[in-house]
């Protein structure tokens, strides 16, 4: 039931009010106070009410935030002395989807053990109602957004004479506009009206979906452009000339900003060698996790990690929160430009390495991966099986993973040299074709 991003799927077939109420009962069996917020999807309010009904029937008190960015919900668990939080969101998924993501008081998403406990209660239907006179209450807290803005202002230095375009994407990230304005930036907001149909662009901030932002920034005099997904846990950017900043480059910039000698940065197995090389320049190391910001956050919770990131746009500063925080990332990037100069110049100085990718449709991904593992083991030493098959060759690497949601196997190969990347990619895709 739980994926790497909580419970998520089409409303009506996967996500229903009945499911939300059942999750509320299951969570309320162990939590006495729960914070609940939602992104602007059309189905969010009804699901939030159903969740609250289940929670209160189980005896838990509910603190309702209403429309709120997911990182605001995650932070509010500790701010309101709650035991857990729930975001009603499908993040960057299309409008027909919705979901529930559960949060711990430290801002980390529910780990596998906590998810398993909830699933077991749902399957066994053991979460009974509390006695009539022990039902929980409901209170509204309209101050969550303001508290989040203040937290950003406490964490980031003011900026001077910068113009920033923020594409909210009709989502829940309008607090970024307020935070940047109070930090001293001149802010232009695009698509700032919350609308769960996401009429302006798709909710996922990709190079393709941010074409309007890129053109708008390029045509004006802004220093950079920023964009969130629907619940504002992600942040992506474009330079002052409108060029999209790839996620691995943004990861390298944030990692270098956060880390010093002896520090570690957490990122998934598919992270570019570029990040390793940038960190090596400052005496820091990269530690790799399974793919998914939940796994990055788990590693970032350990004391030797100062930053965690994923090139999809999830950025985690564990000293602030273990939830990916798009508004905080926006403020830190604007501060970085204020301190070190134009984003385009910083991106150019970082560079990129050639990466090759392919998604292959197969009938049985698990069986194909098992056959491929045998072939890869024969050919390479030190095959990493943390999440798929990854082989590090020093100057190059490749990763083969089965999709968790589609009948696909994905191949990624990267090297510091284009010819080396091409040759490695050809070898690995050949091995995959042999066992399909």
pLDDT at residue 406 tops 90? no
Q: Region of 184 please: left (phi>0), alpha (psi -120 to 50) or beta.
A: left
Is residue 126 predicted with pLDDT exceeding 90? Answer: no
For residue 166, give the nearest of 242, 208, 219, 225 by alpha carbon: 225
Answer yes or no: is pLDDT of 4 > 80: no
Per DSSP (E only), the strands in 259-407 are: 264-268, 285-289, 305-310, 314-316, 355-361, 389-392, 396-402
Q: What is the pLDDT of residue 3?
A: 72
Indicate the pLDDT class of residue 304, thresholds 50, 70 and 90.
Answer: very high
pLDDT tens digits along 196-212: 999 999 999 999 999 99
Task: Determine the pLDDT at residue 112.
Answer: 86
| 155-163: average pLDDT | 96
Does the domain at 146-350 match CATH 3.40.120.10? Answer given as yes
Kind plus residue range of the DSSP H or E element containing 226: strand 224-228
Query: For the whole prediction, is pTM greater than 0.85?
Result: yes
- pLDDT in the model for residue 2: 77
Domain spans of the chain, in order of start: 7-142, 146-350, 355-435
Place 292 in a pLDDT band, splitting at 50, 70 and 90. Answer: confident
pLDDT digits (tens, 9 = 90+) for 307-350: 999 999 999 999 999 999 999 999 999 999 999 999 999 999 99
Hey, what CATH topology would domain 355-435 get?
TATA-Binding Protein (3.30.310)
The 8-class DSSP code of residue 234 comes to B
Q: Hey, do 7-142 and 355-435 end up sharing a CATH topology, with the first three levels equal?
A: no
Looking only at the bridges linking them, the beta strands covering 235-239 and 224-228 are antiparallel
Whether 117 has a pLDDT exceeding 80, the answer reads yes
Question: How far is C-alpha 386 from the geometric centre of its chain's CA atoms?
Answer: 20
Length of the chain (residues)? 436
Sign of the alpha-carbon torsion through 233, 297, 208, 237: positive
Distance (Å, rounded) from C-alpha 191 to C-alpha 163? 17
Question: 3-state DSSP call for residue 92?
Answer: coil
Helical spans, DSSP H, in 160-267? 175-183, 211-219, 247-258
Q: Which of 87, 91, 203, 209 is catalytic?
A: 91
pLDDT tens, 25-76? 999 999 999 999 999 999 999 999 999 999 999 999 999 999 999 999 999 9
pLDDT at 32: 97
Strands annotated E in 19-162? 33-38, 61-67, 84-88, 97-103, 138-140
Q: Which of 176, 185, 168, 172 is nearest to 151 (CA)?
A: 176
Report the side by side order of strands in the sheet with 389-392.
355-361, 408-415, 396-402, 389-392
Across the strands, what pairs with 305?
264
Residue 421: its H or E element: helix 418-435
For residue 33, the model assigns a pLDDT of 98
Q: CA-CA distance, 249 to 349, in Å (whole number)?
A: 10
Chain-wide mean pLDDT for the chain? 95
Measured distance CA(419)–CA(120) in Å, rounded: 50
| pLDDT tens digit sequence for 176-197 | 999 999 999 999 999 999 999 9
148 DSSP assignment: H
H helix runs in 99-246, sequence order: 112-124, 144-155, 175-183, 211-219
**Of all residues in the chain, what percent carry a pLDDT higher than 90?**
93
pLDDT confidence of residue 125:
80
Q: Which residues contact 348 (CB under 8 A, 6 or more apart)?
A: none
pLDDT of 405 higher than 70: no
The CATH architecture assigned to 7-142 reads 3-Layer(aba) Sandwich (3.40)
Segment 251-256 shows an average pLDDT of 97
pLDDT at 120 over 80: yes
What pLDDT digit, counting tens, does each position of 310-321 carry? Answer: 999 999 999 999
214 is an active site residue: no
pLDDT digits (tens, 9 = 90+) for 353-380: 999 999 999 989 999 999 999 999 999 9
* Cβ neighbours of residue 426 closer than 8 Å, sequence gap 6 or more: none
- Average the pLDDT over 250-260 and give the result: 97
Average pLDDT over residues 273-286: 96
């Amino acid at each position: 039931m739980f994926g790497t991003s909580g419970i998520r799927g089409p409303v009506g077939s996967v996500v229903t009010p009945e499911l939300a109420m059942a999750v509320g009962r299951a969570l309320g069996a162990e939590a006495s106070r729960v914070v609940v917020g939602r992104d602007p999807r059309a189905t969010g309010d009804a699901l939030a009410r159903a969740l609250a009904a289940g929670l209160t029937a189980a005896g838990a008190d509910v603190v309702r935030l209403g429309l709120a960015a997911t990182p605001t919900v995650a932070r509010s668990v500790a701010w309101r002395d709650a035991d857990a939080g729930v975001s009603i969101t499908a993040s960057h998924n299309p409008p027909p989807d919705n979901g529930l993501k559960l949060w711990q008081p430290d801002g980390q998403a529910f780990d596998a053990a906590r998810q398993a406990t909830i699933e077991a209660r749902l399957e066994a239907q053991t979460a009974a109602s509390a006695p009539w006179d022990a039902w929980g209450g409901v209170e509204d807290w309209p101050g969550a957004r303001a508290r989040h803005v203040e937290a950003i202002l406490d964490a980031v230095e003011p900026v001077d004479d910068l113009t920033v375009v923020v594409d909210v994407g009709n989502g829940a990230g309008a607090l970024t506009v307020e935070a940047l304005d109070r930090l001293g930036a001149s802010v232009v907001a695009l698509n700032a009206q919350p609308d769960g149909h996401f009429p302006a662009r798709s909710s996922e901030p990709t190079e393709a979906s941010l074409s309007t932002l890129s053109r708008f920034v390029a045509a004006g005099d802004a220093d950079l452009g920023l964009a969130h997904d629907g619940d504002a846990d992600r942040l992506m950017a474009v330079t002052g000339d409108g060029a999209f900043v790839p996620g691995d480059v943004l990861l390298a910039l944030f990692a270098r900003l956060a880390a010093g000698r002896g520090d570690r940065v957490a990122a998934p197995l598919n992270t570019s060698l570029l990040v390793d090389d940038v960190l090596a320049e400052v005496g820091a190391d990269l530690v790799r996790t399974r793919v998914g910001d939940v796994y990055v956050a788990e590693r970032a919770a350990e004391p030797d990690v100062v930053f965690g990131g994923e090139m999809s746009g999830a950025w985690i500063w564990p000293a602030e929160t273990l939830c990916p925080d798009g508004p905080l990332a926006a403020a830190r990037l604007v501060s970085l430009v204020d301190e070190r100069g134009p984003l385009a110049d910083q991106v150019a100085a970082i560079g990129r390495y050639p990466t090759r990718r392919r998604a292959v449709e197969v009938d049985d991904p698990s069986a194909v991966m098992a056959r491929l593992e045998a072939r890869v083991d024969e050919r390479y030493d030190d095959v990493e099986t943390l999440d798929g098959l990854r082989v590090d060759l020093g100057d190059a690497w490749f990763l083969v993973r089965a999709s968790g949601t589609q009948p696909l196997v994905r191949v990624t190969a990267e090297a510091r040299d284009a010819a080396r990347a091409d040759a490695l990619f050809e070898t690995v895709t050949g091995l995959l074709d042999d066992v399909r």
